[in-house]
């Protein structure tokens, strides 16, 4: 199918998916999230594709969840029962990408923020350009980090580093992200996709079925208890968006000022 916010190129057994909302720096709108979910469903049926690269532009991977998306505020204003179902679109999208048989590689240039990290940690590997960075600002906006991101992040960097990334909400430069285990390759700026393709070339010389089975076994081993700690992610997010601190966090974000949280 045709996608408005994605570019999909297939090169033999390799597919390259490019997030394409340049006017919003690849902010994850509800439409883009839905497209990513549907695309994962398409790839799940394509045995001829064995490796998928997900990337953004030369300046950014994604600025994160789109707080300016009008559809987001439709979700916020919906009745609670409907809101709980509507808010599941993010975690379902990430889960769909994590569960693919194909090996998936994130090629990150520039910044990868918030929901962009949720997508990135749902992939198997991450390549980061030397001047790129990650940033999880959710807590500074009065929100929790949801979409089942926390266990995936802990699996990569460990509990203390995950707390540092999420609670301190500071930029983590590519070198530190690599040293901590978030990224598996560092590369010169502008080379993230090319390095990801080299990984794909290495994979292409190996038997695809054992690779897929090994991936699924490792995922099963590492994520066996993830659902037990993330099943309330959406409810926590909804609860946090009903607080005065959330209103303060979002208002300060748009007005570019320091927030004043009161625990209310």
Confidence tier at 45 by pLDDT (50, 70, 90): very high
Is the predicted pLDDT of residue 229 greater than 90, yes or no? no
CATH number assigned to the domain comprising residue 105: 3.90.226.10
Question: Is position 1 within any domain?
Answer: no
| Inside any domain, residue 251 | no
Is there a contact between 123 and 109 (Cβ–Cβ < 8 Å)?
Answer: no
Q: Look at 250 and 47; give whichever has higher pLDDT.
A: 47
Three-class DSSP labels, the chain: CCCCCEEEEEECCEEEEEECCHHHCCCECHHHHHHHHHHHHHHCCCCCCCEEEEECCCCEEECCECCCCHHHHHHHCCCHHHHHHHCCHHHHHHHHHHCCCCEEEEEECCEEECHHHHHHCCCCEEEEECCCEEECCHHHHCCCCCCCHHHHHHHHHCHHHHHHHHHCCCCEEHHHHHHHCCCCEEECCCCHHHHHHHHHHHHHCCCHHHHHHHHHHHHHHHHCCHHHHHCCHHHHHHHHCCCHHHHHHHHHHHHCCCCCCCCC
Q: Note whether residue 110 is domain-resident.
A: yes
Question: For residue 104, is it within any domain?
Answer: yes
Owning domain of residue 79 = 6-188
Q: Is residue 11 part of a domain?
A: yes
Q: Does residue 111 fall inside a structural domain? A: yes
pTM of the model: 0.93
The answer to the question of residue 194 being in a domain is no
If DSSP states are collapsed to H, E and C, what string results for 39-73?
Answer: HHHHHCCCCCCCEEEEECCCCEEECCECCCCHHHH
State how many domains the chain has: 1
Assess if residue 247 is contained within a domain: no
Output the pLDDT for position 42. Answer: 98
**Average pLDDT for residues 174-196, to the nearest whole number?**
98
Which whole number is the average pLDDT over 27-47? Answer: 97
More confident residue, 180 or 237: 180
């Amino acid at each position: 199918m045709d996608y408005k916010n994605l570019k999909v190129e297939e090169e033999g057994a390799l597919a390259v998916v490019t997030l394409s909302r340049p006017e919003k720096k690849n902010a994850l709108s509800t439409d883009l999230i839905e497209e990513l979910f549907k695309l994962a469903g398409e790839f799940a049926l394509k045995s001829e594709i064995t490796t998928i690269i997900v990337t953004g532009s030369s300046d950014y991977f994604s600025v994160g969840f789109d707080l300016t998306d009008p559809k987001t505020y439709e979700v916020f204003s919906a009745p609670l029962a409907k809101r709980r179902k509507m808010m599941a679109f993010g975690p379902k999208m990430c889960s769909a990408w994590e569960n693919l048989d194909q090996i998936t590689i994130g090629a990150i240039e520039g910044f990868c923020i918030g929901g962009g990290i949720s997508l990135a940690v749902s992939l198997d590997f991450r390549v980061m350009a030397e001047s790129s960075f990650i940033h999880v600002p959710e807590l500074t906006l009065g929100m929790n980090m949801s979409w089942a991101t926390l266990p995936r992040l802990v699996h990569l960097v460990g509990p203390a580093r995950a707390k540092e990334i999420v609670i301190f909400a500071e930029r983590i430069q590519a070198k530190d992200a690599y040293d901590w285990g978030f990224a598996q390759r560092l590369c010169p700026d502008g080379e993230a996709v090319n390095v990801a393709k080299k990984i794909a070339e290495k994979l292409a010389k190996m038997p695809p079925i054992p690779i897929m089975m090994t991936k699924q076994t490792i995922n099963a081993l590492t994520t066996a208890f993830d659902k037990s700690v993330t099943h309330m992610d959406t409810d926590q997010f909804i609860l946090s968006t009903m607080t005065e601190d959330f209103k303060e966090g979002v208002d300060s974000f748009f007005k570019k000022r320091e927030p004043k949280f009161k625990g209310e």
